[in-house]
Every structure is written in structure tokens, then in C-alpha cells.
Structure 1
């Protein structure tokens, strides 16, 4: 098994904050209703007004402190679970591979967050993970790709999203420049890994695009042994400065 090094889990932090604030908000609303109920016996009108005011106040307060909306929470939770699932499957690579997740890098004042970086004797692979359901259409030259979905009642709908091969291409460029002082003549390969529930109708030459993590693992293992042990040690040291 490859060793997984978990970086800054900003999605996990956002989700945890949302859950905590919503729990607090629910408890505060319950206490507000209890106070309002007790006031009803003394001053019915006051009890009703106080109850309404407190419920509105604590509802808005918990929403503002949560940081994200309920819809954003649902999307981020789905994305986080998808990333964890794909990372666990990718970690079935041999033990001489390391996987670094949620890696933040900077190049010329611009930052990138890399979902996963695989480091091993066959190369460096920047993996952008996408957890989607439906069919994806796109070409690497296009600015946006299209996700088509079928609803429960058979209706077809969809949405555009930024071309992930361009996204990972930017990550590859910035990481390659960061690693240049660490190891010379190092090839960094971009990968877009979709969930197995995503059907793909895409064209890409430079970037690997797949929905089969087993196929990706096999591809990585079959590549020539191009990275020397001393370079792997330097690269791992570079990543471990900012990961757990």
C-alpha cells in the first residue's frame, strides 16, 4: 500500500464548522421555544413575540457562522466523500509510492491547491479528482466542459464547468517549476480522475482523463522507472514540509 500524507483539509474544516454551528443553532432555537412557552403563562403576547424574535435571530446567527449554505454543504460533502473514496483506491499502489493530498503550492505569487500528488519511481502525477454523476462531454481545447444528468422523472438537464484538464495543467506547470531546483529533468503528468459513476465522452491528449482508478494505478505502475531514489527522497522532503 502507498503511504497517504494528508494535507490541509479545508473542505473537512468547512463541513465540520457547518455541522457545529447548525447543532448550536438548533439547541438555541429549542431553548428559545422553551422560554417563549414559559412566558405564555405570564404574558401570552410577549411570549409569542419573544419566541419569534429569538428563533429568527438564532437561525440567522447559525447560518452566518456556518460559513456555507445548505446547498454548498451538500455539494462539498459529496465532493469530500468522493475524494476520500478515490484516494483510498489510489492508495493500493505499491509501498514505494507516496500520495500527498490537499497540497498548496505557490508560483510567481499565484496559488494552487492540488487534490493529490502521487510520487514514485515512475514519475510524479498531479491528480485532480472529480466526483460527479452523469455524462461529461468535452475536449481539452475547450474552456468549459458539460455535465449532462437525467432526473428521477426522466428529464435531462445539465451544467457547464471549467475544463479540468486546463485546471490540472496549471497545477502541473506550477508544481514542475517548484520542483525544478529539487530534481532536474523531472516529468510531471497531469491526471483528471472522475468517479466511476461518471460516463466520459471527452478528448484529451496531454492530460490523462479516466473514470477507472484501477486502470490509472496499472498505468502508473507500468511506466518506465525514470525517477532515481535520491530524487524521490528530495521530492518527498519538499512535500512533507507542508503536509502531515
Structure 2
């Protein structure tokens, strides 16, 4: 009986560990959604969109259509130090001595904007404003001059 309980306990712990990044990401997206829902009514908000076209697909966390342009928001639920450069291929998350590389979210979001341009067959008249948002558990050490990367949700 004790062995069965121990096995179930460890199975639950492993399951939670494996699913934790997904939950953090969804939680951070929810926090951003709560903030952008406070915008005035002339702003139209779309959340968690999956687009497919010509065999390609992309998932966009948030799109805000405003009188000033279309904000394309990528949300990251990472904690720890986030190190990266605007044009670098990968960024690094550091938590104590553990390091994890992930694809540059500025480049990821630029891909979202390119996809929207292609999908909407739009001219350069529409201003797309890409934004990358990290939750408050992240300490950003990011060098970006031409893109918006923020920490506060």
C-alpha cells in the first residue's frame, strides 16, 4: 500500500513539473489579457489566436487593434534572469546555476507580424507594433533598441 501511494505521489509531482511551464505561460497571458481589457472601447482585443495559411501556422497571444495601429503582443511566463540581444537567435533564462535557451521572442513576434501582413495582404499603411511582455518574476537583462520588451504585467 505504501509503495502504491509513493508511486502515485511521484507521478503527480512529475506531472506537475512537466506541466508547470504551460500553466505559467497561460497565467501570464491571463494577466496581460486582464490589463488590456481595461483599454477604452475603441480598442478591439483578440486573445490566443491560431492562424493557418498555406501549410504554415502561428499562434499569437494577443492582438489589440487601436486607432494608433495594431499591437501584436507575445507574452512570456519565465522567471529568473532573462539575457538576450535584439538580433540574437536565442535568449537565455538563468535560475541560480540552471540555464535554459529559448528562441528570441522579438524574432518570434516579428514572425507573427510578417504572417499577419501576408494573411491580410496589407500594404505598409497599417502600423503593426510588436511588444514582448514578461511577467514580474523575470529580471530582464535584454539589449533592445528598436523593439518594445517590458516586464510589468
Quickly name the TM-score band, shorter chain normalised.
0.7 to 0.9
What's 1:176 paired with?
A: 117
Q: Report which of the two has the higher share of strand.
A: 2
Deviation at 1:70, TM superposition (A): 3.5
Cα pair 2:21 2:77 within 8 Å, conserved: no
Of structures 1 and 2, the larger Rg is shown by 1
Q: Report which of the two has the higher share of helix.
A: 1
Tell me, yes or no, if structure 1 residue 143 matches structure 2 residue 143: no
Partner Cα distance (1:141, 1:91) in 2: 31
Q: Which of 62, 86, 99 is the aligned partner of 1:158?
A: 99
Deviation at 1:197, TM superposition (A): 2.1
Deviation at 1:157, TM superposition (A): 2.3
Partner Cα distance (2:18, 2:127) in 1: 36
Deviation at 1:87, TM superposition (A): 1.3
State TM-score, norm by structure 1.
Answer: 0.54
With over 3 angstroms needed to count, the CA separation of the structure-2 counterparts of 1:87 and 1:137, relative to structure 1, is same
Cα pair 1:106 1:174 within 8 Å, conserved: no
* Gaps in structure 2 of 5+ consecutive residues: none
With over 3 angstroms needed to count, the CA separation of the structure-2 counterparts of 1:196 and 1:70, relative to structure 1, is closer
Deviation at 1:107, TM superposition (A): 3.8
* Gaps in structure 1 of 5+ consecutive residues: 1-32, 34-51, 151-155, 214-244
What's 1:89 paired with?
A: 35
Partner Cα distance (2:19, 2:95) in 1: 20
With over 3 angstroms needed to count, the CA separation of the structure-2 counterparts of 1:173 and 1:206, relative to structure 1, is farther
Cα RMSD for the two superposed structures: 2.4
State TM-score, norm by structure 2.
Answer: 0.83
What's 2:129 paired with?
A: 189
SS at match of 2:31: helix
Aligned residue pairs total 145
Cα pair 1:99 1:119 within 8 Å, conserved: yes
Deviation at 1:170, TM superposition (A): 0.5
SS at match of 2:47: strand
Deviation at 1:137, TM superposition (A): 0.7
Deviation at 1:120, TM superposition (A): 1.1
1:193-208 mapped onto 2 (5 Å cutoff): 193-208=133-148
